[in-house]
Amino acid sequence: MSETGIGKSVKRREDLRFITGRGRYTDDINRPNQAFAVFLRSPYPRARIVSVDPSGANEIEGIIGVFTGKDLAADKLGDLPCGWLVKSKDGSDMKVGPHPPLAVETVNYVGEPYGVVIAETLAAARDGAEVVVTEFEELEAVVALDRATKSAQIHANVPNNLCYEWALGDADATNAAFAKAAHVTKLEISNNRLIPNAMEPRAAVASYDAASQEFDLVTTSQNPHLERLILSAFVQLAPEHKLRIVAPDVGGGFGSKIFVYPEETAAAWASRRIGRPVKWTAERSESFLTDAHGRDHLTKAELALDKDGTFLGLRVKTRANLGAYLSTFASSVPTFLYGTLLAGQYRTPAIYVEVEGVYTNTAPVDAYRGAGRPEATYVVERIVETAARELKIDPVELRRRNFIPPDAFPYQTPVALEYDTGNYGASLDKALIKADYTGFAKRRADAERRGRKRGIGFSCYIEACGLAPSQLAIQLGAGVGLYESGEVRVNPTGNVTVFTGSHSHGQGHETTFAQIVSDKLGIPFENVEVVHGDTGRVEFGLGTYGSRSLAVGGSALIKATDKVIAKGKRIAAHMLDASIENVDFAEGAFSVRTSNQKLTFGEVAFAAYVPSNYPSTEEPGLSEKAFYDPKNFTFPAGTHIAEVEVDPETGAVEVVSFVAVDDFGHVINPMIVEGQVHGGIAQGIGQALMEHGVYDEAGQLVTGSYMDYCMPRADDLPNFTIDTTVTPCTHNPLGVKGCGEAGAIGAPAAIMNAVTDALGVVDIPMPATPERVWRALYRA
């Protein structure tokens, strides 16, 4: 195997530009004659816009224009859509509150943009925004999630602020399971609202060419083709072929850059309106207010067990906060990405889940790293741990008794998914060794002597990655397909340019995708270049989210590479005067099985472009495209074990050890995979102990900066112990499952199980801040 092939920790090729300061992020890009945009934002959680008076701004030197939602509406721009139509359990469609890119009649969360000031300089635009006088009529705001359905009505077409009442599973079978249960464990828990905080704030540089009627929009997107589709088909900014979206280097996304936002939409529109490029870069305060937030659930869960601790049924009722409007994929997160995961790693025969999707006057809530699956894992793993404590069964043993055994795959869960493969006991066993579970009692006693309370917590999570398949998803309301496209373009001299519809914003696709294609073609890694993030260069794509890039985007490239090899064989067979069946391709050469004749990959590529000795039935050229539509989700799974120590005097929690053993199927680049796991764990620990997006009763975001929103820093975290087990995915050509979200999915439950173990309490809400922990002890 080559040093750069599949399975090798190849150093990332994108790093050289980043470590030398040569990355090219959206805000680094400037256009000649560009103007600057600053948005007018609502100071109120809910208000009617009475009037907007821009006269003060218009007197400031350098102001080009002040535009409001009315101007966009007059140009017939459509609403920002939600791409997944969820149906309520009574069969009715979800109720969608209208979401104009800039608010027209009412504003519905603090920070919602209702206008934009365009000026020659950023300073002038800021000055202008400050003196625009807007008269609002404040309306009663809906802030508290638990009371949201009994509060004022936010959208005229949405009674009780209820977007949908969704259900999944067999209610009768589940009720029957509870009726015969020897023990029922009940848990009421919340999943805290998070603010994604990719380090690069969102930004856009939009240009419009009146002669060609073409837009060029550079923006911080995880999926530029989707952005193009939405801006064209729904917002009707311009036809798709007149819209080019470029997502250059993007500084992290974690879901928050999947969505189509008001700002880039308005910036693009304004560039046409004023006939000049328009640039906008969010300040971090704007990111806090308006990047789609994540999580925010209230849940009641019940687990029915027989006297031996076998799970009989799980009943879950969740209220999910959707915020003021449905963001691009908001509706699917607490439903299809949540309810379907409630089987976890267990054979629970009957599961029933109901989810209320509820509007509030807060920022829209949508997918954030894990998206639904951390919430599901949190419910399952917290209630399983609680049941173990109630029944006085070792939490490891209780899990083991209920695992889906390795010989039961493919396994149909009671909540729609069919797991293709897995070996949960193997991950658990390895993690127990890594965590030295048998030594825990001694460590706890040592901690006790030092005046600290030590706890251990487990989380045996499952996730579903690479959403699939398209047909089923579309039947279930998805507005887009779930495939990915790839193109392998062999240049005449034999090097290769790969085009992928996946987008890399930290994941290292430029390296990993070059590894798989060079490995497959048997050519040097250096000879493969990866292009992504530009609708002008890449045919189509659905972008990067849900840990799908390698499993779906990588598979598309394998498919395209297979086509290249197949055509290469036909060309080689002709050139070597052999029959196709006798031509083999290995290690970068076409050879004839029945002779010692050989052609290198480069020779065949050259022949394809300079076709002299060439099959008459073949078109010249060697470039192949493929769309890969996965047959099923992939199901990464694993065991995370956390150990924490609590300082009982202050309530401070220290994570002293964190072990993660994950089954991602085959691993292409172990170094990159480990990095993904590290980052996910950090975000999971952040959710459990530090991060919380908090609105006060008046609807103001009180955690609107790094002064108050607690981001994990280096000294908040330990070194992580990472390992893997492998059961290859059965239905994609690489046997891969996806690794981007596992850490964020598994960690919160592991940490909170450890914290509650240390404290000896059933639950404390996330984040387990020092004061909350101190109060839990103080109460006890």
130 binds other proteins (CB under 8 A): yes
Minimum distance from CB of 244 to other proteins (Å)?
22
508 binds other proteins (CB under 8 A): yes
Q: Which one among 51, 475, 612, 719 touches other proteins, defined by CB under 8 A?
A: 719
762 alpha-carbon distance from chain centroid:
30
Minimum distance from CB of 628 to other proteins (Å)?
25
For other proteins, the binding residues in 732-761 under the rule CB under 8 A are 743
Minimum distance from CB of 459 to other proteins (Å)?
16
For other proteins, the binding residues in 532-561 under the rule CB under 8 A are none
Q: Which one among 4, 185, 192, 197 touches other proteins, defined by CB under 8 A?
A: 197
Minimum distance from CB of 277 to other proteins (Å)?
16
242 binds other proteins (CB under 8 A): no
Cβ-based neighbours of 616, under 8 Å, separated by 6 or more: none
Is the CB of 138 or the CB of 649 nearer to other proteins?
Answer: 649
Minimum distance from CB of 124 to other proteins (Å)?
11
Is the CB of 586 or the CB of 707 nearer to other proteins?
Answer: 707
284 binds other proteins (CB under 8 A): yes
198 binds other proteins (CB under 8 A): yes
What is residue 112's three-state secondary structure? coil
Is the CB of 219 or the CB of 769 nearer to other proteins?
Answer: 769
Minimum distance from CB of 772 to other proteins (Å)?
10
Tell me which amino acid residue 277 is. Answer: P
715 binds other proteins (CB under 8 A): yes
Is the CB of 129 or the CB of 490 nearer to other proteins?
Answer: 129
17 binds other proteins (CB under 8 A): yes
The CA-based angle 296-744-15, given to 5 degrees, is 125
Residue 761 has phi, psi (to 5 degrees) of -120, 160
698 binds other proteins (CB under 8 A): no
15 binds other proteins (CB under 8 A): yes
What is residue 258's three-state secondary structure? coil
675 binds other proteins (CB under 8 A): yes
The residue to which tokens 């490239």 are assigned: 557
Is the CB of 194 or the CB of 552 nearer to other proteins?
Answer: 194
Q: Which one among 285, 310, 497, 582 touches other proteins, defined by CB under 8 A?
A: 285
- Total residue count of the chain as it appears in this document: 780
717 binds other proteins (CB under 8 A): yes
| Beta sheet of 484-490, edge-to-edge order | 528-531, 496-500, 484-490, 623-628
674 binds other proteins (CB under 8 A): yes
Q: Between 555-575 and 509-521, two packed helices, what is the crossing angle to 10 degrees?
A: 30
For other proteins, the binding residues in 611-670 under the rule CB under 8 A are 649-652
Euclidean distance between CA atoms 338 and 316, whole angstroms: 11
Sign of CA dihedral 553, 554, 560, 562: negative
Among 194, 192, 161, residue whose Cα is nearest residue 359: 161
The residue to which tokens 């193009």 are assigned: 228
Euclidean distance between CA atoms 383 and 303, whole angstroms: 7
Tokens for 588, please give them.
């970068």
Cβ-based neighbours of 89, under 8 Å, separated by 6 or more: 165, 166, 167, 354
Beta bridge partners of 625: 487
Site string for other proteins, 248-267 (x = CB under 8 A): -xxxx-x-------------
Minimum distance from CB of 509 to other proteins (Å)?
11
Euclidean distance between CA atoms 774 and 780, whole angstroms: 10
150 binds other proteins (CB under 8 A): no
Is the CB of 363 or the CB of 672 nearer to other proteins?
Answer: 672
Among 320, 419, 421, 309, residue whose Cα is nearest residue 376: 320
The residue to which tokens 């309306």 are assigned: 139
Minimum distance from CB of 689 to other proteins (Å)?
8
Stretch that binds other proteins, among 20-28, 421-429, 433-441, 625-633 (CB under 8 A): 20-28
173 binds other proteins (CB under 8 A): no
Euclidean distance between CA atoms 23 and 17, whole angstroms: 5
> What are the counts of helices (DSSP H) followed by strands (DSSP E) for the chain?
19, 28
Element (H, E) at 65: strand 63-68
Stretch that binds other proteins, among 73-81, 92-100, 208-216, 243-251 (CB under 8 A): 243-251
Is the CB of 391 or the CB of 671 nearer to other proteins?
Answer: 671
Q: Which one among 507, 544, 724, 732 touches other proteins, defined by CB under 8 A?
A: 507
What is residue 438's three-state secondary structure? helix
> Residue 418, CB half-sphere, CA atoms under 13 Å: how many?
9
Is the CB of 339 or the CB of 506 nearer to other proteins?
Answer: 506
With left for phi above 0 and alpha for psi between -120 and 50, is residue 87 left, alpha or beta? Answer: beta
Minimum distance from CB of 30 to other proteins (Å)?
8
Is the CB of 178 or the CB of 774 nearer to other proteins?
Answer: 774
480 binds other proteins (CB under 8 A): no
The residue to which tokens 């039947």 are assigned: 475
190 binds other proteins (CB under 8 A): no
Tokens for 215, please give them.
């837009």
33 binds other proteins (CB under 8 A): no
180 binds other proteins (CB under 8 A): no
